[in-house]
Amino acid sequence: MRVLVVGGTGNISTGVIKYLLEFGHDVTVFNRGVTKRPLPKEVKVIHGDRHDLNTFEKTMQENKFDAAIDMICYTPEEAESDLRAFRDVKHFIHVSTVAVFGGEPAEYPINENTRRNPVIEYSRNKVAADNVFMNAYKEYGFPVTIFMPAQTWGYQDGIVRQLGGGNIWIDRVRKGLPILVTHEGNLIWAHCHSDDVGLGIAAAVGRERCIGESYIITRWDMKTWRDYHEEIAWSLGQKANLVDAPAELLIKVWPEGTWLLASESRWNRIYSLDKIRRDIPEFNPRITLADWMPDYVRDLDARGLIPDARSDDTEDRIIRNLERMISNFNC
């Protein structure tokens, strides 16, 4: 099939394109040409700005495609634009996020029918975009499939921890310095390598039974945050030095460092993968953090993306204050 990918050079896109080509599709990407990550030579490129909706829609209509995958649809307005741009495709895939199930989960395991609870602007906009596509499917048969990835790692410029993002924590781990967690790191978290997610999405292209459906996509061997941090530390030749603190306290004293904790990671994130395993059996995640982390850290270092742990003492100060508070309490 002739497949158009809107975006194409991002974290998940890289895995998607890899497997679209492996499955024999003719792949074109549409993007601004800003991201420097190279594309495979077989991939055709159309440069443009999808935020210029009129030009984007006209360009897509002039270049007929059998299927389209939008990796960067973040608002209901962009979703409406996709409906116009791709009104003639046989299959359209929208990549959403499990962040639509934010906050404290309504049920376990979280599944595709679980009540949405977007707690940040990003996820609220994703829910609105999801609704645009599913309403179009119900009203006139727009051939959409929605994927909701959990944390996906592989080709991005950083990797999250339980508290949130920023790469300084990687340097702390490899230097044996303590890092903060909550609930002793025993909450469940779901994550998956971009290539594994890309295979699942690419395998769905043109699959009739996937039209009108949504899929949570992540590893099914979900582990705790303690497992996650320990696996990364082990891959870097260290033992994780985890310091526990109450989530509410961390969010209050370090708001800029705890964005993920505030919205998702202070609760268990346990997902049902029954639906994707039934409909897309090719999806079978194999890549582990330990397999991937050493090469990834070398790449981040080469690009100057891991700050020296000594450049910010916020975490050390919080840990010292916690230790002082506990010591005073014990007295």
On whether the CB atoms of residues 124 and 178 are closer than 8 A, the answer is: no
pLDDT for 328: 81
Q: Which residues contact 139 (CB under 8 A, 6 or more apart)?
A: none
Q: What is the DSSP string of 222-273?
A: -EEHHHHHHHHHHHTT----EEE--HHHHHHH-GGG-HHIIIIITS---B--
Give the residues across from 94 on adjacent strands.
70, 146
| Contact criterion met (CB below 8 Å) for 114 and 63 | no
Cα–Cα distance for residue pair 220/76, rounded to 1 Å? 30
Counting every residue written for the chain, the total comes to 331
φ, ψ of residue 31 in degrees (nearest 5): -160, 180
Boundaries of every domain in the chain: 2-154+191-217, 168-189+222-268+288-330
Compute the distance between CA of residue 79 and CA of residue 102 in angstroms, rounded to an integer: 21
The CATH architecture annotation of domain 2-154+191-217 reads: 3-Layer(aba) Sandwich (3.40)
Q: Taking a C-beta distance cutoff of 8 angstroms, is the pair 308, 171 a contact?
A: yes
Query: Among 223, 102, 238, which Cα is nearest to 169's?
Result: 238
Residues 6+ apart with CB under 8 A from 331: none
For the chain, 331 residues long, give each residue's pLDDT as a single digit of tens: 999 999 999 999 999 999 999 999 999 999 998 887 889 999 999 999 999 999 999 999 999 999 999 999 999 999 999 999 999 999 999 999 999 999 999 999 999 999 999 999 999 999 999 999 999 999 999 999 999 999 999 988 899 999 998 999 999 999 999 999 999 999 999 999 999 999 999 999 999 999 999 999 999 999 999 999 999 999 999 999 999 999 999 999 999 999 999 999 999 999 999 999 999 999 999 999 988 999 999 999 999 999 999 999 999 999 999 999 888 876 5
Q: For residues 307 and 11, what is the distance between their CA atoms, to the nearest angstrom?
A: 21
Residue 136: phi, psi to the nearest 5? -65, -35
| 194-204 helix and 11-22 helix, angle to the nearest 10 degrees | 50
